[in-house]
Chains A and B, each alone.
Chain A
Amino acid sequence: MSTSLLLLIIVLIGFIAYFTGRARSLALTGGKLANLHSLPGYHGSYVAIWAVLPAALVLAAWLIASPLYIDSAVRAALPGSVQSQGAANVQLALGQVKSVAVGLNRLNAAEVAAIESGSANLRQTLAAKGVALAGEGEPYMVKAAQHLNATRLHSRWLMSAAVLLVAVAGGLYAIRNIAARFRARNQVERVMLGSLIVASSIAILTTIGIIGSMLSEAGRFFSMVSPTEFFFGTVWDPRFAAAGSEAASGQFGLLPLLGGTLYIAFVAMLFAVPVGLFAAIYMAEYASPRLRSTAKPLLEVLAGIPTIVYGFFALVTVGPFLRDISTQLNGLVTGNYQNFIQAQSVLTAGIVMGIMLIPFVSSLSDDIITQVPRALRDGSLGLGATRSETVKKVILPAALPGIVGALLLTASRAVGETMIVVLAAGVAARMQVNPFEPMTTVTVKIVHQLTGDLEFTSPQTLVAFALGITLFVITLCLNIYALYIVRKYREQYE
């Protein structure tokens, strides 16, 4: 019985269990619903949960455990000559056995007999059925494959029987529990709570898993390149090792990349913060409700544009525009028509990233500004302050912690932004302060190191994980600092 069919049957049993439980509780009421502690629907759900949940758990456990068990059983049954050849060869043989097993299922009895007697070539016969074998195949493999198939079939039947048994038994157990005063509602509530907890822990566990995998890969990197060289190195030159030349591992200095990242993020914030903040103040304090209801969603459309689109906006529009205008300016001033802004530069990436960040700044700040109590506005206006005095002296100070939090969140987005800088910032890893020259960022280099054919053993590839974890720590610190500031101000003013 296939797994999906089994699942379908479990669901079916669940439905039956629901209606049985419901009917049974209704039968117990004696015509008065109030006699029941819980509504019939809860009794039904209770029975259905008992029918489905344990069965599903058994199914899941079996599906995880049985391949492991079968593998080890087949491996143990391999001839001693193979076993003695080392783990890699055993693994290879096991893989072949599995392919043969798949192939054997597609053959008819006569063909199997022919292979067993040795009159037909194993590889050719299987290839005709669409199963490619890595090697010629050996007689013991056919035996092992047959053993594998038999065990699998056996396991599958056992599993089906066990799962169905658990489903029916669970349902019956639950039905027996049903009584007028039985608290089915509370039981269902507990299951609900459990599922909510499971859902939230999945998110947390995933985060932990991601950090764990990055840490272990970064650890492998740091076993090849020393952390001091990485964190304090000023040269980024991860020479791609030619085949066989193990020595050429290059230099992995983080500082040029980090410098570029922070510089571009700074330029972006320089554009985004004033524009976004002013837009937010206008929206929150001055705009009429009609204007606000149309303009605000329009502004937020900007936030929905994929960053790759901003990237080629920078590449084909902003970059060339800045380059050309700098040519003209230079020509007018000095007579030398030579551009002083590169098409790919810190400025280009910063401006376009700033445009991308405007809606984040304005939307977050707008929410925070509108949350400032009306009483404070009235108090200031009632003293004869103008609107802008009220905004400057009362509303912004009151909203400041929230706004700082919003800006730090935006900054951590700027630091982690990838596609815009890939297209607009350039790839030259260097340390300099001229915003008209290209620089590169941590994210750009992660993309570069992980593009193309990869082997996850060389420092050239593994450095991406070290860069990733560095970026993660930076944004984490920004977020923690944002929370700290928000808390501090909240305490002061509450």
Chain B
Amino acid sequence: MNTVPYKMIGKDVSVYYGEKRALFDVNLDIRENTVTALIGPSGCGKSTFLRTLNRMNDTIENCRVTGKITLDEDDIYDPSIDVVELRARVGMVFQKPNPFPKSIYENVSYGPRIHGLARTKAEFDEVVETSLQKAGLWNEVKDRLHEPGTGLSGGQQQRLCIARAVAVSPEVILMDEPCSALDPIATAKVEELIHELRANFTIVIVTHSMQQAARVSQRTAMFHLGNLVEENDTDKMFTNPDDQRTQDYIMGRFG
């Protein structure tokens, strides 16, 4: 496990919302083609850290990030970096499924269209099909690609959002509690999907469910009160953690 190269490296990352400090000098590295789970009680800063990885924090007023985060050696907070290009390389799936009020086809082709990844109708068709297949949704929707994406069930909507992210061919996919609005069956499907996506993408997932972290991830990072408490192989984390606080949280003593 320790031989896998790093995809993203976070060094002394701190985040401030106005005067309030939400993250304290976090040093966390993300390994390539690995699922990294971020766990911790509510308000611990795990989502905040996730959003620093593709600079979605930029869209929040008064938010300030210090420290250094690199993606394949590039400092993503360097002024010369194009945020739009960064977000194409580091995609994101959100807590609540948020398909655009467009057809399924247009939802998936949205990214390729704005980034010019496809030109002809045939190319778009192909991107849409492969993305939906990667998201495990193709067989369910192939006959109704031109119906609104909002008409799908919650689990299908979330997989559509994953397909939408995959269609841009990102290197990293960030997932912010992707299953919190889904029922157990839909959750199982999305988890299975995460397993498969690992072959092609680097995945960082924030989750409230310890079982989910244990099921889908290879590395786990535990946050508490804005600090990174422990980062370890998932197996070790859930059997024999180094830190007492991790032990307590996993045993359900707080959080």
Contact = CB atoms under 8 A, between A and B. Distances in A.
Interface residues of A, number: 23
Contacts of A389: 114
A383 B112 CA distance: 9
B189 interface: no
Interface stretch (B34-42, B92-100, B132-140): B92-100
Contacts of B88: 383-384
A296 to B, nearest CB: 16
A476 interface: no
B98 A376 contact: yes
Interface stretch (A94-102, A214-222, A392-400): A392-400
Interface stretch (B4-12, B122-130, B161-169, B214-222): B161-169
A485 to B, nearest CB: 15
B61 interface: yes
B154 interface: no
A384 B98 contact: no
A195 interface: no
A383 B85 CA distance: 9
Contacts of B100: 376, 379-380, 393-394, 397-398
A492 B96 CA distance: 20
B62 to A, nearest CB: 10
A80 interface: no
Interface centre among B61, B84, B88 (most CB of A within 10 A): B84
A382 B91 CA distance: 6
A378 B150 contact: no
B49 interface: no
B241 interface: no
B168 A384 contact: yes
Contacts of B150: 493-494
A383 to B, nearest CB: 4
B114 A375 contact: no
Contacts of B115: 384
A377 B100 CA distance: 9
Interface in B58-96: 59, 61, 84-89, 91-92, 94, 96
A386 B99 CA distance: 18
Contact of B98 (A373, A385, A493): A373
Contacts of B165: 382-383
A385 B91 CA distance: 11
Interface string A365-380: 0000000010111111
B105 interface: no
A135 interface: no
A376 B91 CA distance: 15
Contacts of A381: 56, 59, 87
Contact of B85 (A380, A384, A492): A384
Interface in B142-161: 148, 150, 161
Most buried by B among A375, A383, A394, A493: A383
B94 A375 contact: yes
Contacts of A386: 84, 114
A375 B100 CA distance: 9
Interface string A280-319: 0000000011000000000000000000000000000000
B219 to A, nearest CB: 23
Contacts of A385: 84, 110-111, 114
A378 B101 contact: no
B119 to A, nearest CB: 17
A384 B84 contact: yes
Contacts of A383: 87-88, 91-92, 110-111, 114, 164-165, 168
B208 interface: no
Chain B binding surface, main DSSP class? helix
A394 B107 CA distance: 10
A382 B56 contact: yes
A311 to B, nearest CB: 42
B63 to A, nearest CB: 13
B98 A289 contact: no
Contacts of B148: 492-493
Contact of A379 (B61, B89, B94, B168): B94
Interface in B162-186: 164-165, 168
B87 A382 contact: yes
A80 B131 CA distance: 100
B110 A375 contact: no
Of the candidates A382, A385, A386, A394, the one having the most CB atoms from chain B within 10 angstroms of its own CB is A382
A380 B165 CA distance: 10
A407 B89 CA distance: 39
A384 B114 contact: yes
B198 interface: no
Given A289-B61, A379-B94, A383-B88, A397 B101 contact: yes
Contacts of A376: 98, 100-101
Contact of A384 (B94, B101, B111, B161): B111
Contacts of B92: 378, 382-383
A378 B164 contact: no
Nearest to A381: B59
A130 B59 CA distance: 79
A494 B99 CA distance: 11
A392 B161 CA distance: 20
B16 to A, nearest CB: 18
B245 interface: no
A493 B101 contact: yes
Nearest to B87: A384
Interface in A84-103: none
B102 interface: yes
Contacts of B89: 384
A289 B18 CA distance: 14
A378 B87 contact: no
A386 B86 CA distance: 11
B58 to A, nearest CB: 9
Contacts of B84: 384-386
A377 B98 CA distance: 9
B54 interface: yes
Interface string B23-65: 0000000000000000000000000000000101001010000
A494 B115 CA distance: 28
Given A383-B92, A397-B102, 9 more contacts: A288-B61, A378-B59, A379-B164, A380-B100, A380-B110, A382-B56, A384-B114, A385-B114, A393-B110
14 contacts: A373-B98, A378-B94, A381-B56, A381-B59, A382-B56, A382-B91, A383-B87, A383-B165, A384-B115, A385-B111, A394-B110, A397-B102, A493-B101, A494-B150
- In the complex, the 5 A-B pairs of residues with the closest C-beta atoms, listed nearest first: A384-B88, A382-B92, A375-B98, A384-B87, A493-B101
